Structure 1
Amino acid sequence: MPLTSRLLFAALLASLSFSALGERLRIVTEPWSPYVIADDKQVSGLDYEMTNIVFKRLGIDVQWQFLPWKRCLMMLEQGDADGVLDIVKVAEREDLLLYPNEPLSDVNWVLFQANARPHPFNRLEDLQGLNIGVSPGYLYSPEFDSSALFTREPAPSHEANFGKLVRGRIDLMVTDRVVGQRMLDQLQLRDQVSQLPEVISRRAMYLALRRNVGMDLLVQRFGAELKRFKREPAYAQLVAHYTGETLQLPATSSSDPTVIGAEKTVEQHESSAL
């Protein structure tokens, strides 16, 4: 059998193991608006919707579970989930997970402070002796995650971290820039909390699948289809809806009239601290 035919056959088997057999791909993630939004009424969010669109095009049904991040990681390790949404790619997870070539979103980890207790921050050494609120299981940057200059205090949710910050139980907290800005509005904290301008790190977020038979080909197909979708106007509309950022769609390529590229025109003015 030619190589191309073998690859197509393997990809077909991967699909058959789910939809064609009446099963669903089990994906876990933690809600964090605007990437994943889960409430009593509906589930939405930028990365959630992109993932659903891509899997629908691939003919794969998905079963979602929304859990605290540390529980998501535990389910992956125990084999109780097939994949995870919005995870960073790091070497220590490559024995367990497969990542597509195309990320879903890029996040900017930044610090938030209580306006009544400001803490200027330009470099890691400025955090010496402070108590920093973090989320369990999150990876921010190798330097930040391993630093002995300050204490990292986990909280069960982003809302809890903001509450601890306002009450003075922590000195600063770290989260994604877009997530934090959304929560300032949701929690009505704009007069009490502000974002520090320096960026701790920028990380790409992926949909990752557990290493298993046929999953490597499914990951490749997911990445290729995601890349195609991100060249469509529908992608720009999702980004604008959930983040407020505007994407400029270049003119259709003369060599491929079905493909429209989408490039970000919004510049991030924060500078990297590390």
Structure 2
Amino acid sequence: MPQTFRLLIATLLACLSLNALGEKLRIVTEPWSPYIIVDDQHVSGLDYDTTSIVFQRLGIDVQWQFLPWKRCLMMLQQGDADGILDIFQASERDNLLLYPTEPMSDVNYVMYQANARPHAFDSLDDLRGLTIGVSPGYLYSPEFDSSTLFTREPAPSHEANFGKLIRGRVDLMVTDRLVGQAIIDQLKLRDQVSQLPGVVSHREQFLALRRNAGMDLLVQRFSAELKRFKREPAYAQLVARYTGETRVAPATHSATPPAAGIDKTVEQHESSAL
């Protein structure tokens, strides 16, 4: 029996099993605009819309929950969720999660400064003695996460981190470039906050599923359908709508590990409480 046909049968059986039990695939994630946007019970965003379209094509019903990131990770650990959207690959989660080969999107972690208190940033050494605003449970890069040169101070939300920045409670803060730009517009901080040019790390984020029966085959099918959808004009339209960027062709992703250091070129969440 051809491998493709076997995968189709296995995925169909997994769908029938969920439907027979009257269950939906339970996916958790944190609001993370423009990737996941939750606004007055209306949900949208680049990765949310893409995931919803792919699961619809696979015939899978999804139950979504939008929670703080550490709570999402805890639910995965405790078996209260089947999957999580926009998570990074990390070796410490290999025994718990399965990842598609195709990522949802790319993240660029960058630094933001208060214009009233500017700081240079070309390397981690420039952060010596500073207090950097971070998000609880997020992974940035191995070097950043383990550095003793500076203090990492968590805040309950990305918006709270920007508030601490403009009030001088942190010297700089780190977040994804697109997320930061969206929050700056939301909070009307264009005249108070600016992005620094250095990139702390580039990461790929994924939809990941718990290692349960049949999930490995579902992950393969999800990856194949996601890759197919990314080649369609509809995906380019989503990218333009949510990021303002033009996608001419799907990005080519390799199996090489993410950069851990500082990249000075700006291009195009996460955490491990596990």
TM-score by length of 1: 0.89
C-alpha distance in 1 between matches for 2:6 and 2:123: 52
Question: Which position in structure 1 is the counterpart of 2:234?
Answer: 234
C-alpha distance in 1 between matches for 2:109 and 2:185: 18
The C-alpha deviation readout for 1:4-31, integer Å capped at 9, x for no partner, is: 4654443232212323432100000000
Aligned-residue CA RMSD (Å): 1.7
Pair 1:9–1:207, CA change in 2 (3 A):
same
Q: Are 1:271 and 2:262 matched, yes or no?
A: no
For CA contacts below 8 A with separation 6 or more, give which structure has more relative contact order: 2
Q: How does 1:182-197 map to 2 (within 5 A)?
A: 182-197=182-197
Question: Which position in structure 2 is the counterpart of 1:203?
Answer: 203
Could you tell me whether the CA contact under 8 Å between 1:233 and 1:262 is conserved in 2?
no
C-alpha distance in 2 between matches for 1:8 and 1:183: 41
Letter in 1 for 2:79: G
C-alpha distance in 2 between matches for 1:31 and 1:50: 15
Question: Which position in structure 2 is the counterpart of 1:137?
Answer: 137
Letter in 2 for 1:91: S
Quick one: percent identity of the two aligned structures?
75
Q: Are 1:67 and 2:61 matched, yes or no?
A: no
Shift of 1:119: 1.0
Shift of 1:224: 0.2
Pair 1:137–1:189, CA change in 2 (3 A):
same
Question: Which position in structure 2 is the counterpart of 1:27?
Answer: 27
The C-alpha deviation readout for 1:114-139, integer Å capped at 9, x for no partner, is: 11111100001110111101011111
C-alpha distance in 2 between matches for 1:3 and 1:262: 28
Question: Which position in structure 2 is the counterpart of 1:245?
Answer: 245
The C-alpha deviation readout for 1:126-181, integer Å capped at 9, x for no partner, is: 10111101011111111001111111111110000000001110011000001101
C-alpha distance in 2 between matches for 1:240 and 1:184: 19
Question: Which position in structure 1 is the counterpart of 2:270?
Answer: none
Corresponding residue pairs, total: 255
User: Larger C-alpha radius of gyration, 1 or 2?
Assistant: 1
Shift of 1:271: 2.0
C-alpha distance in 2 between matches for 1:7 and 1:131: 50
Matched residue of 2:108: which SS? strand
Shift of 1:101: 0.4
Shift of 1:263: 5.3
Question: Which position in structure 2 is the counterpart of 1:78?
Answer: 78
Pair 1:241–1:3, CA change in 2 (3 A):
closer
Question: Which position in structure 1 is the counterpart of 2:258?
Answer: none
Question: Which position in structure 2 is the counterpart of 1:254?
Answer: none
C-alpha distance in 2 between matches for 1:53 and 1:6: 23
C-alpha distance in 2 between matches for 1:147 and 1:263: 31
Gaps spanning 5+ residues in structure 1: where? 249-260
C-alpha distance in 2 between matches for 1:90 and 1:108: 17
C-alpha distance in 2 between matches for 1:147 and 1:61: 42
Question: Which position in structure 1 is the counterpart of 2:93?
Answer: 93
C-alpha distance in 1 between matches for 2:133 and 2:24: 36
Could you tell me whether the CA contact under 8 Å between 2:32 and 2:179 is conserved in 1?
yes
C-alpha distance in 1 between matches for 2:216 and 2:12: 12
Pair 1:152–1:48, CA change in 2 (3 A):
same
Letter in 2 for 1:212: N
Shift of 1:40: 1.2
Could you tell me whether the CA contact under 8 Å between 2:122 and 2:264 is conserved in 1?
no
Could you tell me whether the CA contact under 8 Å between 2:240 and 2:247 is conserved in 1?
yes
Pair 1:35–1:53, CA change in 2 (3 A):
same
The C-alpha deviation readout for 1:201-229, integer Å capped at 9, x for no partner, is: 00001000000000000000000000000
Letter in 2 for 1:271: T
| Runs of 4+ off more than 6 Å | none
Shift of 1:231: 0.2
C-alpha distance in 2 between matches for 1:203 and 1:7: 29
TM-score by length of 2: 0.89
Letter in 2 for 1:101: T
Matched residue of 1:205: which SS? strand
